[in-house]
Amino acid sequence: MSDQSNQRCERWETDGLLALERGEALDPHFDTCPDCLAARSAGEAVVARLMQASAGWQPPGDWEARVFARIAREQPARRFAWWQVLFPVLAAAGLAIWLARPATPGAGTDVNAAPFGLSLSIVDAAQVVRGETPKPGDALSLRASVGGVAHVGLRVYRDDRTLVFACGHADACPRTADEVVTRVTMDAPGAYRTLLIGGAAAVPSPAGSLDTDMARAREAGLQVVLGEVVRVW
Amino acid sequence: MLAALDRDDRRGALTLLMRLYGDAIYRYCQGMVLDPDQAADVHQTVFVEAWRDLPRFSRRSSFKTWLFAIARHRCLDALKIGKRRRARFTADDDAPEPTDAAPNAEDSLSDRSLLPPLERCLGELRPDSRTAVLLRFQDALSYEEMGKLVGELPGSLQARVARSMPVLRKCLESAGITL
């Protein structure tokens, strides 16, 4: 098309193209006016050029492998499996030291003699313990040992900032003499952490963030147990 | 695909998605960011995100529309990051705001003379117009699909495509491309 054609048949570019994109019937003028036919043909050539040129845009040959490599890097549970070994060992060692310590009644604020701890597992809708990365809709099955502890609070946070479950303040925790057992559905993706608080003093009301609530519990002289991170995606 | 998802075979489902739509998503990314390295990075990010979100895929849209929606967001993010980087190195902060008719900040990518004319001319369109043109002609999406993908009415997209085509034509002609 010549330079002059830029000025030709503006009506095609204002009305004709829009009608074409809307799938409307074209004004018969566009089928008879030579300038409009030329403008229409140029428009079709633009589309052809676009398709022709972009057909050469191809991803790098190994892109699928790179995607899976990135996925593997971003899956913390599988990359850091050694934590699953190290954590129980350290926990067992800590428990042994704690049990072997001399009895010092009245020496501090944490004077509860009963074991105080938390275990958690992941269940899906069918209550089967999941061995894979949890998905939204799966649940945390929580079991806290709280024998002899007067006041108990249990909380679950998503990404350390959103409180998704709390008991022990406004709502009493579902408690037997020795245990609190409950189940919390993880509706959205994120990193879920469970906080168990207990002791002789009343459990402070939740402020909403994990850090703040842990600090408040410690200030109140309560014991604090933090569960492992469960990532949902 | 759905069968793989129902079997909880996320890897299998993603592999299938990559085979079916990998090339089309790459072409879209390249057309949007106009830089092969950046396009490759964004393209991979799209499928990493797809992996993450597959279990939550609602099945209200097609896989194709879903992937293009992810790609659109990531391409716009990449363009914004590029714009911020360029702004950091631009001394004149009082430069006039770009308009639709003139190349804007995103379009400085098109200043590289080695890019083919078509890439330069695509760069003359604003990102939302570029998205509309690419989805319409390169990826052959219907206006209904495009509307769902970008959250706009099909009529608005039709008008945007119709306005963009003369811009492309004039640019290609001025670059010496015979149409």
The count of structural domains within chain A is: 3
A204 and A93 inside one domain:
no
pLDDT tens per residue across span A139-183: 888 888 888 888 999 999 988 888 999 998 778 888 887 888 888
A132 and A210 inside one domain:
yes
Q: B158 to chain A: which residues are within 8 Å by CB?
A: 18, 21-22
Q: Give the distance from residue B53's alpha carbon to the nearest chain A alpha carbon, in angstroms.
A: 7
- At A101, list the tokens: 């310590």
CATH class of B2-90+98-174: mainly alpha
A201 and A131 inside one domain:
yes
CB distance A22–B52 less than 8 Å? no
Residue A157 counted as domain residue: yes
**Closest chain B residue to the Cα of A23, Cα to Cα:** B158
According to the model, what pLDDT value does residue A155 have? 93
Rounded to whole angstroms, how far apart are CA atoms A57 and A40?
27
Residue A144 counted as domain residue: yes
Q: Which position has the higher pLDDT, B114 or B73? A: B73
* CATH number of the domain enclosing A171: 2.60.40
Domain stop point among A43, A67, A99: A99
pLDDT tens per residue across span B145-176: 899 888 889 999 999 999 999 999 899 888 88
| Residue A108 binned pLDDT confidence (cut-offs 50, 70, 90) | very low
Neighbours of B167 (CB within 10 A): 20
Residue A1 counted as domain residue: no
Domain positions in chain B: 2-90+98-174
Residue A34 counted as domain residue: yes
Nearest to B174, CA basis, from B108, B110, B106, B95: B110
CB distance A43–B165 less than 8 Å? yes
| Residue B113 binned pLDDT confidence (cut-offs 50, 70, 90) | very low
Interface confidence: ipTM more than 0.90: no
Nearest-10 Cα torsion for A178, A184, A190, A191:
0
CB distance A1–B44 less than 8 Å? no
Rounded to whole angstroms, how far apart are CA atoms B175 and B5?
48
- As a whole number of Å, the CA-based R_g of chain A is 33
Neighbours of A100 (CB within 10 A): 7
Rounded to whole angstroms, how far apart are CA atoms B34 and A144?
56
Q: Give yes or no for residue B43 having a pLDDT over 70.
A: yes
A12 and A34 inside one domain:
yes
